[in-house]
Amino acid sequence: MKLYYSPGACSFASHIVLHELALPHEVERVNLRNRQTAAGEDFTAINPKGYVPALVIEPGVVLTEGTAVLQYLADLKPQQGLAPAVGSLGRYRLAEWLGYINSEIHKNYSPLFNPAATDDMKSLAKAALLRRYAYAEDALSRHPYLLGEQFSVADAYLYTTLTWSGRVGVDLTGMTHLLDFQQRVSKRPSVIAAAAVEFPST
Ligand SMILES: N[C@@H](CCC(=O)N[C@@H](CS)C(=O)NCC(=O)O)C(=O)O
């Protein structure tokens, strides 16, 4: 398996999960500005959507969309419990969180990373993010992880978005459970291992 990633981007969640499950894998960095892979290939020939993550499962079989990649990986080792069993209510709770993080949190960061976005657009995005994170804060005030007591792929994704907050001025002061969650997850060996690959000089 090979994961195409950009350092610290949403692909980081899939990278965490590869380590969490100790799955044998390779990674290759993608330059999102010119859509070239580290080996000099045209990334759009691998993923025509042009964005990360893209997981090459075997030659010619490519899975995209982070929420799909995360669930695919978790289901390779169901005994590790990173996703509840297919068909259980818990699995739909996972889908609920993944959808929420994807469309209500992740995508609200887009204007904050876009140099063409106006200050008004950025302010609206920040306000929306604070509202969306407040919902996660409430969930995390009741249990240590989004689905309860057990770390899941949704936590890897939520954590990944939290790593962006400081860089773009999303002030989470007061969201103590969320900040505590971020601290706790940052210490997981899987997160440390994925970060060491994506940010080798730090
Ligand atoms: N719908 C995709 C979006 C992935 C996405 O936004 N990837 C960003 C990095 S976090 C990216 O590669 N952006 C470059 C681009 O869209 O050109 C998913 O959820 O996986």
Q: Please check whether residues 23 and 87 belong to one and the same domain.
A: no
**How does residue 161 score in pLDDT terms, banded at 50, 70 and 90?**
very high
Q: Do 20 and 110 fall into the same domain?
A: no
Share of the chain above pLDDT 90, in %: 99
Do 106 and 10 contact (CB within 8 A), yes or no?
yes
> Count of CB atoms within 10 A of residue 104's CB?
16
Structure token pair of residue 138: 């409430």
Residues 34 and 47 in one domain: yes
- Among 16, 37, 47, 52, residue to substitute to test ligand 1 (most atoms within 8 Å of Cβ): 52
pLDDT given at position 4: 98
Residues 127 and 158 in one domain: yes
Statement: residue 201 has pLDDT above 90: no
Taking all residues of the chain, what is their mean pLDDT, rounded to a whole number?
A: 98
Q: Please say whether the beta carbons of 67 and 102 come within 8 A.
A: yes
Distance CA 27, CA 69 (A): 14
pLDDT in tens, 6-40: 999 999 999 999 999 999 999 999 999 999 999 99
Residue type present at position 137: E
Measured from the Cα of 65, ligand 1's closest atom is 20
- Cβ neighbours of 32 (radius 10 Å): 13
The CATH number for 19's domain is: 3.40.30.10
Domain of 94, CATH number, reads 1.20.1050.10
Verify that 110 and 171 share a domain, yes or no.
yes
| pLDDT band with cut points at 50, 70 and 90 for residue 106 | very high
Do residues 183 and 91 both lie within one domain?
yes
Which pair of structure tokens corresponds to residue 89? 């209510």
Domain of residue 19 covers 2-78+190-198
- C-alpha closest to that of 155 among 99, 109, 97, 110: 97
The whole-model pTM stands at 0.98
Instruction: Mark whether 106 and 174 lie in a shared domain.
Output: yes
Which pLDDT value is given to residue 149? 98
Q: Do 89 and 141 share a domain, yes or no?
A: yes
Q: Which of 51, 67, 101, 104 to mutate to test the pocket of ligand 1 (most atoms within 8 A of CB)?
A: 51
| Pocket around ligand 1 at a 6 A CB cut-off | 6, 9-10, 32, 50-53, 65-66, 102
- Our count of domains for the chain comes to 2
Q: Domain check: are 88 and 177 in the same one?
A: yes
* Residue 170 sits in the same domain as residue 115: yes
